[in-house]
């Protein structure tokens, strides 16, 4: 079955599902045209560029998001603020990067000093305090603490769907279908009905909100968890991807010219595990299936919006919190300063102005906060960092002089421009990649004398000062950095895995 036929069948199946969930005529709204614009804020967990509108994988089937990308501005060179859920979402939602907040790793926000988080006003909180009705469902912040438990969610939400999501039964799938202990490392279909899936319920909640009459502008935030591990979703979406799955292009000795702090980020044990009996095929298929599942759920919401009175007055912002390695750099998951881990889907649609096109300039998810406040006429907090992207909505070809800054641990930073990536680590080791000639980041140019001026130019964008690590409430801190600088365990693991892995990580002398 060819890819185009599969896409056509997928669209038909999705359309049938959508028709059963949406009204046959637009629902009336109350004075929506005269009000401030509404905002539909779509957050996705762990989605890399394996989507149609970014051409990250030739078999990716994501028709609903592909259509969204055509309706607005598709930022094809967008990057997270940090390549991990917690610090990425904190930076985006509070509008402040880790090197200024000190929020470098993961946190249990309920265990943090209130004074730390009370310093900031999150995006949904700002909209609520500015007269918007705010609705939330699914993963917005990392963890439920700040979104739904703290103050019963009243700080940010007029209404939220968390109790309904928590009441759902556990999904049913074959725990032994994975390659590790427990539920998380599974890569298989579920046998649960769609109604038991949290992401489907988040989509249904969004449909419900959009079918209501609203007498004030609304901010609707929907957080989709897939394709986060475990890679499980309904069977229909696995059926979209018959074997074989095209693997990503991988250079076996890609880590040979990388410094030790960079090597320490590679999840070599996963690569070793998945190379046994060609398990990567199963992992890749499950990841693509989960991307299509999320796409279908987003399609439900967009169809409801298009059948409502709010279609022409609702800004749509779609983003993923970071990318995801699928074997590149001999790694799996995120947690690195390389392209696969930092590049994200990012789309903005403003139907009031019909902005359309794609922007190849490097942008940061940190830019969402100032962009939304400018688009809606709200006043952003004085501390908010980032650059409004409104000029690039008006003219996607406009040259951008400020790069995207990505941070993973104190002292580890990446500078990404349209052409270059420059990584500078806590021990002053470096990487430099020229995306014009090396889109896979296979050849580190940092030690070559002819590129010293390039490095100097890019290094001026590195932070000149760094906030100390916030200690209280700290949870997972899984990076070697200024606060955990011991590289010896990483070197030992690397040497051990180099003996096991075939092909080897580095060439033998």
- Answer whether 422's CB lies under 8 Å from 338's CB: no
Alpha-carbon span 361 to 382, nearest angstrom: 26
Residue 363 burial (CB < 10 Å; 0-12/13-18/19+)? buried
Alpha-carbon distance of 289 to 272, in angstroms, equals: 23
- Give dist(CA 81, CA 79) in Å, integer: 7
Residue ranges of E strands in 52-106: 73-75, 78-79
Tokens representing 421?
């990536």
Q: Which structure tokens are listed for 127?
A: 């909209």
Q: Rounded distance, CA 300 to CA 222, Å?
A: 12
The radius of gyration computed from the CA coordinates of the chain, to the nearest angstrom, equals: 22
The angle that helices 279-306 and 63-71 make with each other, rounded to 10 degrees, is: 50
The closest of 417, 456, 413, 453 to 435, measured between CA atoms, is 417
Report the SS3 class of residue 404. Answer: strand
Q: Which one is catalytic: 80, 85, 233, 290?
A: 85
What residue has token string 């890399």?
Answer: 48
Task: Determine the 3-state secondary structure of 7 from DSSP.
Answer: helix
Q: Residue 221: which of 38, 37, 36, 42 has the closest Cα? A: 42
> Does the CA dihedral 184-189-191-194 come out positive or negative?
positive
CA dist 312 and 76 (Å) reads 25
Query: Do residues 385 and 396 make contact, with C-beta atoms less than 8 angstroms apart?
Result: no
Helix (H, G, I), strand (E, B) or coil at 507: coil
In DSSP notation, 138-183 reads E-SSSSSIIIIIGGGGTTT-SEE-HHHHHTSPPP-B-GGGSSSSSS
Q: Does 85 qualify as catalytic in the annotation?
A: yes
Task: Please answer whether residues 380 and 369 qualify as being in contact, where contact means their C-beta atoms are separated by less than 8 angstroms.
Answer: yes
Determine which one of 99, 142, 197, 424 is catalytic.
142
- CA separation for the pair 72, 405 (Å, rounded): 24
- For 109, residues 6+ apart whose C-beta sits below 8 A from its C-beta are 117, 141, 143, 145, 146, 150, 473
What positions carry a catalytic annotation? 85, 142
């Amino acid at each position: 079955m060819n890819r185009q036929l599969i896409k056509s069948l997928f669209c038909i199946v999705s359309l049938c599902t959508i028709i059963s969930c949406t009204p046959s005529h637009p629902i009336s709204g109350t004075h929506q045209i005269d009000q401030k614009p509404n905002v539909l804020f779509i957050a996705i967990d762990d989605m890399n560029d394996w989507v149609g509108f970014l051409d990250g994988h030739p078999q990716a089937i994501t028709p609903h998001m592909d259509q969204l990308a055509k309706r607005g501005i598709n930022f094809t060179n967008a990057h997270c603020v940090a390549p991990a859920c917690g610090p990425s979402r904190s930076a985006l939602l509070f509008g402040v990067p880790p090197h200024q907040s000190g929020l470098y790793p993961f946190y249990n926000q309920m265990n943090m000093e209130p004074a730390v988080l009370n310093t900031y006003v999150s995006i949904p909180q700002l909209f609520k305090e500015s007269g918007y009705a705010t609705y939330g469902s699914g993963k917005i912040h990392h963890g439920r603490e700040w979104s739904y438990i703290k103050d019963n969610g009243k700080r940010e939400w007029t209404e939220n769907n968390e109790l309904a999501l928590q009441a759902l039964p556990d999904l049913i799938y074959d725990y032994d279908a994975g390659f590790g202990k427990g539920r998380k490392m599974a890569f298989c279909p579920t046998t649960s009905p769609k109604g038991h899936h949290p992401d489907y319920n988040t989509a249904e909640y969004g449909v419900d909100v959009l079918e209501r009459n609203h007498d004030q502008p609304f901010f609707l935030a929907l957080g989709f968890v897939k394709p986060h591990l475990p890679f499980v979703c309904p069977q229909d979406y696995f059926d979209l991807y018959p074997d074989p799955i095209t693997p990503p292009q991988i250079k076996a000795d890609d880590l040979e010219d990388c410094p030790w702090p960079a090597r320490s980020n590679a999840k070599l044990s996963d690569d070793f595990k998945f190379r046994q009996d060609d398990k990567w095929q199963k992992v890749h298929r499950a990841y693509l299936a989960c991307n299509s599942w999320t796409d279908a759920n987003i399609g439900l919401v967009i169809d409801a919006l298009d059948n409502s009175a709010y279609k022409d007055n609702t800004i749509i912002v779609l983003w993923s919190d970071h990318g995801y390695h699928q074997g590149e750099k001999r790694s799996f998951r995120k947690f690195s300063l390389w392209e696969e881990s930092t590049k994200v889907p990012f789309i903005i649609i403003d139907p009031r102005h019909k902005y359309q096109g794609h922007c190849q300039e490097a942008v940061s998810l940190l830019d969402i906060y100032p962009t939304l406040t400018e688009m809606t006429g709200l006043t952003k907090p004085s501390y908010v960092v980032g650059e409004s992207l409104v000029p690039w909505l008006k003219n996607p070809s406009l040259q951008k002089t400020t790069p995207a800054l990505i941070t993973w641990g104190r002292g580890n930073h990446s500078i990404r421009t349209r052409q270059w990536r420059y990584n500078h680590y806590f021990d002053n080791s470096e990487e430099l990649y020229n995306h014009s000639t090396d889109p896979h980041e296979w050849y580190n140019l940092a030690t070559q004398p002819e590129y010293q001026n390039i490095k100097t130019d890019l290094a001026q964008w590195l932070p000149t000062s760094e906030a100390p690590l916030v200690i209280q409430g700290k949870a997972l801190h899984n990076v070697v950095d200024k606060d955990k600088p011991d590289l010896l365990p990483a070197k030992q693991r690397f040497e051990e895995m180099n003996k096991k892995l075939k092909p080897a990580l580095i060439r033998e002398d």
